[in-house]
Chains A and B, each alone.
Chain A
Amino acid sequence: MPDPFEKTLEQLLDGRDVSRRHFVRTLSASALAVSGAGTLLAACGGTEGTDKGGDAAKPVSVTHAKTAITELDFSNWPLYIDKQVLKDFDKQYGGKTKYVEDINDNDEFNGKVQEALRRGRSIDRDIVVLTDWMVARWLRAGWVEPIDKRNVPNAKNLQPTLASPKFDPKRQYSLPWQSGMTAIGYNPEKTGRELGSVDDLFDPKFKGRVTMLQDWRDSAGLLILADGKKSDDATLDDVMGAIDKLGEESEKGQIRKFTGNDYTRGFASGDLWVVVAYSGDVVQLKADNPKLEFLIPEEGALIWTDNMLIPQKPPHAYAAETLMNYVYDPVVAAKIAAYVNYVTPVRGAKEELAKEDPETAENQLIFPSDQTLAKLQPYIQLSLEEEREATEAMQRVTGA
């Protein structure tokens, strides 16, 4: 995206009116033609599955020598940072950060770069931000450069709950960027009552006014929690069962649509009454319509994390680690949290934010309490083959 255009666009959107993910949706649709071409090219010429079998639990030691910071290539999702943070970073360290908002969808981004990664080439990026399950996939394939933690002392500020995920138990390769919750948004004026449970999605009174997310990790994940299962215990059978249930409800017309992030529009306009939604979106929608509710159902909800990682053969590894260190400073993290409205992984950011903007610091959706956190479960993790089976089954249900 050329700079002047981006600037105008950002001024227009300015965080509040349009949520990040809504923007993502519009953007990704328009980028389809372009990225589609890229994906097709990637598909050319056959591929061989070279799973290097990276084991993220094994201790690694890596040294990235301190060098002068000249340049940094950072790929992230749209509207996922306060750009002032990057300007401050460049000023402080004297480099030039090339920040590109070219990740619109985990699968899509993966499709764009996987061919180069598989051939062992650099993708000319120092930091990319991917969701847990995609990080897991990249780690298994061995496409990720370890982080030299000596260059990231601020990593000590990482929330303990996020310190040892299954896919990277010692956080040797990844650091959380932001987390978010997947739960249920609803419009009490339309539903006429308070909701409390996942089953409320299937109340016949809401027929045709309900949307679910098209990623099975979100929609099927919620249904499985509603059955009283823990994410870590869920199997492919559970997922397929939940997808079948989604298919039935879709056939009946109960579910109006399976959405990416485009539910925000219909939810704001009142066409949609009950939506499976991301917390950050609802925070932003509530700014315009405080009546909208975000419900963490009694059965629990999902929490996911987008993680920074350094792809293989990075051009500027030390610069990447310096930036990771910078954004793990609670003052900087507070700035980012205030802008993006998702859950920050940095301890101390809340206290910093409370000084400037106490109202945001008290927002349960940005800084969930321990009580809320206790109800949250990670995404279900399946093997690669099983993930594929689930994705294909979900596609048959969503039709796209």
Chain B
Amino acid sequence: MSLSRRRQLLPYLLLAPGLLWLAIFFLIPALNQLNVSLWSGTPETGQSFDWNWSNYGEALSDYHQHIIRSLLYAAAATLLAFVIAFPLAYFIAFKASPRLKPLLLLLIILPFFTSYLVRTNAWQTILADDGWIVNSLQTVGVVGDDGRLLATATAVITGITYNFLPFMALPLYVSLEKIDKRLIEAATDLYAGRFTAFRKVTVPLALPGIFAGSLLTFIPAVGDFVNAELLGTPRQYMIGNVIQSKFLRVQDYPEAAALSFVLMALILVGVFAYTRVLGRERLTEAAL
């Protein structure tokens, strides 16, 4: 094989492991689930593929509330995570001393050293009805005397925000860190106030990080079920709870698969729209 020919093939060879991975662990299971989502019958009477689209109709009419709730909770958590993570990342990138930076970054991911379940369980204690947080909030009147935090939407959104915060903070940090400080100096030299410089220089340059961070937070948050399960009640359950129990408890595979596809489609459409708004090159930049 000539050298030029090998050169031509090289990119494909490099891509092959990744593509193979995608095919085996995403494409094939996804197609299989698409097939399952069109089955009819129950495990006991026998199930077979027969283009049973009514699984989708039933799934949507029974559980559209859960889907809307999941999207709202995930959006709220993403927004909260951004509000918390941006100043944090900004501080670490611009204000913290170089010696302190690695330590601060370590602190962000430190909670990840324990299991997701343990972390979420800990919030049950923090938000407990007789816990100090609820008691102090009751004293200042934010929470009613017989009110509570655990088993409310607040608890679930708090849990999601907490659990996905590093996914927001780290991409933000990376994009802020990359900003050439001289650009901000140049802006101030050109008579921009600190706020204007921030708005016109820092934020646009941080957009790839904002984009990546919000996707990394939002997408897993929509499908999350652990926070709602541990910190919520049936009135807070998300679509992930439904899919999980449809698969494992009720063993209604067709409807569970249908719900998974509806969720996937909604997220794809959402991401697509988001990309359109922020510009496609941002997505690729963010990926870098």
Which residues in A have some Cβ–Cβ distance to B below 8 Å? 26, 29-30, 32, 35-36, 39-40, 43-44, 46-49, 51, 105, 107-108, 110-111, 114, 208, 250-251, 253, 255-258, 262, 265-266, 269-271, 384-385, 388, 391-392, 395-400
Q: B57: CB under 8 A from chain A?
A: no
Contact of A51 among B44, B115, B244 (CB under 8 A): B44
| B residues apposed to A, CB below 8 Å | 29, 32-33, 36, 39, 41-49, 62, 66, 115, 117, 121, 124-125, 128-130, 148, 150-151, 225-226, 229-230, 233-235, 237, 241-242, 244-253
Tell me whether A391 and B250 are in contact (CB under 8 A): yes
A270-B130 Cα distance, complex, nearest whole Å: 8
Separation of A49 and B41 alpha carbons in the complex (Å): 10
B130 x A40 contact (CB < 8 A): no
Pick the contact of A40 from B29, B234, B250, B252 — CB < 8 Å? Answer: B29
* Alpha-carbon distance between A26 and B246 when the two chains are bound, in angstroms: 19
**By the criterion CB–CB under 8 Å, are B247 and A40 in contact?**
yes
A39 and B253 alpha carbons, distance in the complex (Å): 9
State A105–B249 Cα separation when bound (angstroms): 8
CB-defined contacts of B151 to chain A, threshold 8 Å:
208, 256-257
B242 touches which of A30, A108, A400 (Cβ 8 Å): A400
A326 to chain B, nearest CB (A): 33
- B44, B66, B148 interface centre (most CB from chain A within 10 Å): B44
Interchain CA distance A395-B246 in the complex, whole Å: 8
Of B45, B115, B244, most A-chain CB atoms within 10 Å = B45
Closest Cβ of chain B: how far from A262's Cβ, in Å? 8
Contact among A43, A256, A391, A398 for B253, CB-based, below 8 A = A43
CA distance A261 to B233 in the complex (A): 15
Cross-chain contact A43 with B234 (CB below 8 angstroms): no
Bound CA–CA A40/B252 (angstroms): 11
**Contacts of B42 on A, CB cut-off 8 Å?**
49, 385, 388
**Bound CA span A175–B212, Å:** 57
Shortest CB-to-CB span from B259 to chain A, Å, is 12
Given contacts A29-B117, A208-B151, contact A400 B229 (CB under 8 A): yes
Q: Which 3 A-B pairs have the closest CB atoms?
A: A49-B46, A400-B241, A399-B237
Whether A107 touches B250, Cβ cut-off 8 Å, given contacts A208-B151, A399-B237, is yes
Q: Are B47 and A47 in contact (CB under 8 A)?
A: yes
Q: Is the CB of A30 within 8 A of B117?
A: yes
- Residues of A near B128 (CB, < 8 A) are 269-271
Chain B hits for A51, CB < 8 A: 44
| Chain A min CB distance to B106 (Å) | 25
Given A44-B32, A270-B130, do A35 and B248 touch, yes or no (CB 8 Å)? yes
The residue of chain A having its C-beta at the shortest distance from the C-beta of B251 within the complex is A111
Residue among B129, B226, B253 making CB contact with A29, cutoff 8 Å = B226
Query: Are B148's CB and A208's CB within 8 A?
Result: yes
Contacts of A398 in B (CB 8 A): 234, 245
| Choice from B44, B148, B225, B252 contacting A384 with Cβ under 8 Å | B44
What chain A residues lie within 8 Å of B117 (beta carbons)?
Answer: 26, 29-30
CA distance A43 to B115 in the complex (A): 29
Say which residue of A36, A40, A111, A399 sits within 8 Å of B66 (CB atoms): A399
Interface centre among B115, B129, B244 (most CB of A within 10 A): B129
Asked whether, in the complex, the Cβ of A399 is within 8 Å of the Cβ of B248, the reply is no
Residues of A within 8 A of B33 (CB): 40
Give every chain B residue within 8 A of A251 (Cβ-Cβ).
Answer: 235
Question: In the docked arrangement, what's the CA distance between A40 and B243, Å?
Answer: 12
Q: Do B46 and A108 touch across chains, with their CB atoms under 8 A apart?
A: no
Chain B residues with CB below 8 A from A250, complex form:
233-235
11 A-B pairs in the complex with CB atoms less than 8 angstroms apart = A30-B115, A35-B248, A44-B36, A46-B39, A47-B43, A47-B47, A49-B46, A105-B249, A251-B235, A255-B234, A270-B129
